[in-house]
Amino acid sequence: MNLRLAGIGMTSARTRGRLIERLRAEGIVDETVLAAMYEIPRHIFIDEALATRAYDDVSLPIGHGQTISQPYIVARMTEVLRNGKQLGRVLEIGTGCGYQAAVLSKVAKEVYSVERIQPLYERARKTLRELKIYNTNLRYADGTTGLPDAAPYDGIIMACAAPALSAALREQLAVGGRMVLPMGTQEQHLHLIERDEDGFRETRLEAVKFVPLVMGKA
């Protein structure tokens, strides 16, 4: 057994189980999402020096001015995106360390994820390979306009805050699809975008704090 994957002490399966119970207590009810969160070892996505905090419900630094989102936010966004249904093709903007993509890989048939910072992209690819997750397709690219060559998507999730929703990204959402993203500058909220035959419907959800969406590759 790979001890790094299995975890010992503060990164053990028991510790992971306590996180799942906290997520339930905070209102996450989708058992498919909770099972995915339990299965993915969050400690291997962060620096070893922070491993003892891996299953705390907090965001943590991953370098390059970026963070791994707190588990509640990952679970909440995934739950809203799923809406109790099996997902087909999903797009994530902002791979970061790859944790959200790994969780999505357990609830979607196919995951595309875009990262603009090359060292993070390379690290995420390596970690996902180590976990033997093969239904994710990572791209090193500017994600501000989405990833049109693989569109349309049943779900789109954004791990960085945009000042407003871009029309280009919105049009990559399939009819019947859902998009979850943080929007705002000084104050940020999660927004749910739903597309049906008649057009788009937008719902503002809870307040959040994400790093800003940035154009270009780094």
How buried is 174 (Cβ within 10 angstroms: 0-12 exposed, 13-18 middle, 19+ buried)? middle
Q: How many CB atoms lie within 10 A of CB 29?
A: 10
How buried is 121 (Cβ within 10 angstroms: 0-12 exposed, 13-18 middle, 19+ buried)? buried
Q: How far is Cα 130 from Cα 102, in angstroms, rounded to an integer?
A: 11
Going by the DSSP 8-state scheme, the letter that residue 69 receives in this structure is: P
Is 166 one of the annotated active-site residues of the chain? Answer: no
Between strands 136-140 and 173-183, the pairing is unpaired
Q: How far is Cα 192 from Cα 174, in angstroms, rounded to an integer?
A: 14
Q: How far is Cα 16 from Cα 39, in angstroms, rounded to an integer?
A: 9
How buried is 58 (Cβ within 10 angstroms: 0-12 exposed, 13-18 middle, 19+ buried)? middle
Segment holding 105, helix H or strand E: helix 99-105
Residue with tokens 């707190």: 70
Candidates 12, 59, 69, 113; catalytic one: 69
Catalytic residues: 69
